[in-house]
Amino acid sequence: MTGIPFPDISPEIFSVTIFGLHFALRWYALAYIVGIVIGWRIAVAALKRPHLWAGGVPPMTPAQLEALLTWIILGIIAGGRLGYVLFYRPGYYLETWWEIPAIWQGGMSFHGGFLGVTTAILVFCWREKAPLGGVADAIALASPPAILLGRIANFINAELWGRPTTLPWGVIFPGEAAQDCPGAVDACARHPSQLYEAGLEGLLLGTLLILLAFRWGALRRRWLLTGVFLAGYGIARFLVEFVRQPDAQFVSPGNPLGLAVHWNGWGLTMGQLLTLPILLAGALLILWARRRTRAVPA
């Protein structure tokens, strides 16, 4: 196969060793930090424009958003890590449970992080008596930057790559596992599925949400932006799964496509299976928001 050589980028930006202990700042961690900060500023910009919201009243103040942000960060980390452990590698972590907190090694699940963030939002709205739909819309608007940068960090880490391909933009990822391609004579090129997701779930979906919020009045219909985010993410993830390398525990001689559920040669990967409820919820929220909520004029 021919392909593009993987760029010589270290997963670590810099590292130091103090008293025999190794400390490093990784692109993976920085991506989430920067992504959350960018998303926070986008949400603050929307909250400072009352005319964008239903009834001309934002669902919370910028100060309340800062308080919520702390809980969201905890939800992303705890939910994302536990989701990865439970959904993708339960057997491995049952035997090596002490590695569960080692998030710096990689291994986060969007679906788990989504559940963690949802829990944080529910608790916040209950305590602050804030409108759940409006708060959810603000967080949906803020989410794509972290997804965009997180997927780019996955690429830098040379993880979560795609299936083998002969397309000219296939990337030759390093490592024994990435080069284990049946039938490959020389180097094995794979789909850069991390970059596909960065473009679809991060850049494209984020641009659409910003236009909907700031130009097309979507925030005046509570839950509409949340629905678009969930449906957009669900569609993008479902499609990318067709070219994404399945997790090793789902691959076997009788199941080379790594399908989590399959029948008569057809089936769904674990990523597609977990994404279907998100996609369905997004579609239902869009329909509900358009039919039940009348947009309030600016």
Amino acid identity, position 236? A
For the chain, the first-to-last Cα distance in angstroms comes to: 57
Max intra-chain CA distance, the chain: 64
Amino acid identity, position 173? F
The label of the residue with tokens 């991060």 reads: 202
Binding residue per annotation — 294? no
**CA–CA separation, 200 vs 20, rounded Å?**
42
**CA–CA separation, 248 vs 266, rounded Å?**
19
Cβ neighbours around 121 below 10 Å, total = 21
Pairing type for strands 12-18 and 21-26 reads antiparallel
Cβ-proximal residues to 272 (8 Å cutoff; 6+ apart), any chain: 237, 238, 241, 260
Note whether 150 and 207 are within 8 A (CB): no
**DSSP label of 8:** -
**CA–CA separation, 186 vs 89, rounded Å?**
31
Note whether 18 and 185 are within 8 A (CB): no
Phi, psi (degrees; rounded to nearest 5) at 271: -60, -40
**CA–CA separation, 226 vs 281, rounded Å?**
10
**CA–CA separation, 40 vs 61, rounded Å?**
12
Q: Name the binding residues.
A: 151
